[in-house]
Structure 1
């Protein structure tokens, strides 16, 4: 804008632009839709793009078209294509949506704003197929993620990139609006053409039979099962543990009181309640405890096709890595894995269920967890267990066993254990011939791994026992304070009752005979106030005698 060119009214050019020329409103598309043409028919936000009715279990395609799961799954199973665009689409490509509903309306879980037909709405595409995606208003993602450069999901905490943001609805974007234009839906166009070609008239009985057949087809469809790579059992099947029981002096609360004072979207609350600890906080507390205890080792037995190995795990030095390894063992993720890479004099690598060296997931199903380096652990001997990764903070399930010293791997790969018995069996594995990509020609497989001593489980049990002791001590203290309060209240009532029975002044004095003028009645205990002396008038007085 030039100097003094701002107008106090909206000009015609601003009316023509989206949202009255406001950049902020255009970004979040909260104004009037500006890209709809006369022939377009935009689909309402809360409607399925196949049945055109309101959805109850939303599920989306990778490009952001939303359907109802009960409608789209049978269609894709039969046609293997997207009903709107005709592009090939499989059931595994669909993304279940996790949407918050407040007072019967779909709502952003961060800003608590209801979605409308002019809201800009998005979700973050999950890294693993079958996982749910939380639906947000674009405003919350822009302000708290993009603008703040915080590339972690606001709800799940998983890392993502800007290209993972999928727009469901944006009235200011013609491309997004075209995906939701009913007049361009392929299955509707094909249906109209089919109606013109097919003029067969069905009777009422034929229609009823066709409906029954369609119903049987739908019920026979396999259910869409969500895949979950998260196998960590820390904190599961246990009573909730509060942060005040986990951390000494913790003041972490549910923030209900603060939210009720700053927003009218939620209920009114005046009490401050300590919130339950998250799984991450519980695991972090376990790791901190294990680090304070020296020489606390865990032990496991690995049975392979080439012998048995007894493993010692450094759960006191690298507790997080050992926790991941132990949780994967409990979930049987290593059973049946092969050693897919073998380099003589260097190492043998395993831990990939796919056997390709590109698969595997950690105990939390994330992109990786941080490295744990310690000066006491170096790659200086044969038979060490160390994590395989593709860079810093990308540890998953793959690990390798060293055949000798390899100091160049220090502070790049986390050492978490060693072979303490059966190390002679490494000679047979190292002597195997390898082919392309260092893959052994003879298969070396892990039959199973069993935990013998699980210090992580012991630390978890100890933590919950201590939390239960704190809870009981708090209950005893509450009962003690209640008893003291009740005793104080009872004593106060007794004291107040005693004051009412006290004798009054002059209660037992004899009255004088003589009626009213003979001393009066002292039995009432009423003391008459003394008479006030009359003050002499000051001044000059009367001048009549002058």
Structure 2
């Protein structure tokens, strides 16, 4: 080692100048020789962390909405290029994931990597791989979105990632990195514990911005007035409206399990538990799990919609829908929301989008796990909710495929008849709040197949059969334990037959008449008479 390779001046270590010039050191003077650092496609360009609610700038820079909105409102500049940027220029993006949770193209099902060309359509915000847009849109002159059929121009396609353009995603070239801006605290005051945006904490201006970007939660908070007391009052009012329909909550069917609660064992083994001397059987809820489909017809003022229900895959959701329809809950209920090329929503008796309840009470859990059905076509029937496990009576019917709703809403049926009715409903004009200008309502419901009634009838038959078997077993018996024979005279008489054996006399069922006993002969002679002597 050392500059001079002679034994006399050779050193046993690397000097500072050698390390800076030849060994890759010199961190003080980076410049063109600085190590390459590239931003992954699934990370925010401001925080460098994976995004949750993605938006993009006109040049394709992807950011998280919780970081982009505060940064742009504060600095009025693009975080990467440093050019002027306004909040209205941001575009909300719809990313799609596969079963493994990896981002993919919803058309080609191609998993995104750092080497994939990725683009988005501004008009819809849907994200695709560039190969899908080039092959299915550019070459075929099909200027419609591949998922929503919404028209767009070539200029509306924005490149989000190009593997050949290395400088576009180099971290050291970002404007906020060069200027040394502190971006760690952006959006923290408006985030919850899980990192989601808590819109009740942000300012009114930011709330309007989020609403303009398509945030439904901000619209709900604005409708409630941001007050928990007002929200509770509205819920109480909705509950009173629901009672007018006369639908009582359906209690769960409870049966005694073969398992024990174990209070005696817990009290015996732990000194902190209360002492018990008896065990009680645990109670388990019994659900009906049909293997057949259900069929319902919704009569609307625009025509009929024939619905097939997936009772074999979503038994609880379908039982709730069929029971409500059978009791007239949906009669006269309006469809309060309709978005062209997306979906039609109804099932709320209040017409506000916040009412309705299930047959078991307020809300019930989702049935997404193990459900193979997806929002992959027109006419899919799915449950509307306000979050996880918040299903009530509201539902929606898709106008087009909506894969971004998968694993969020329970798909429990599909339209198998009346597509022309659905098309007429879709053409109805709506206001800015997506409310139809013409009344669209359900006039009545017809139940064609209810597999739950069939299961209940089978249970009733089993109970009757068991009762009859017990009655036969408890029949009158004689001393030897044999059942007494029934009187033959009580048997029904044989009917006349026109076939073989019609000339054969039927066996008489009456008992034969008893004959008179023969007269007794008088005894004559014997050893007791000695007159002849």
TM-score by length of 1: 0.37
Q: Name the one with the larger helix percent.
A: 1
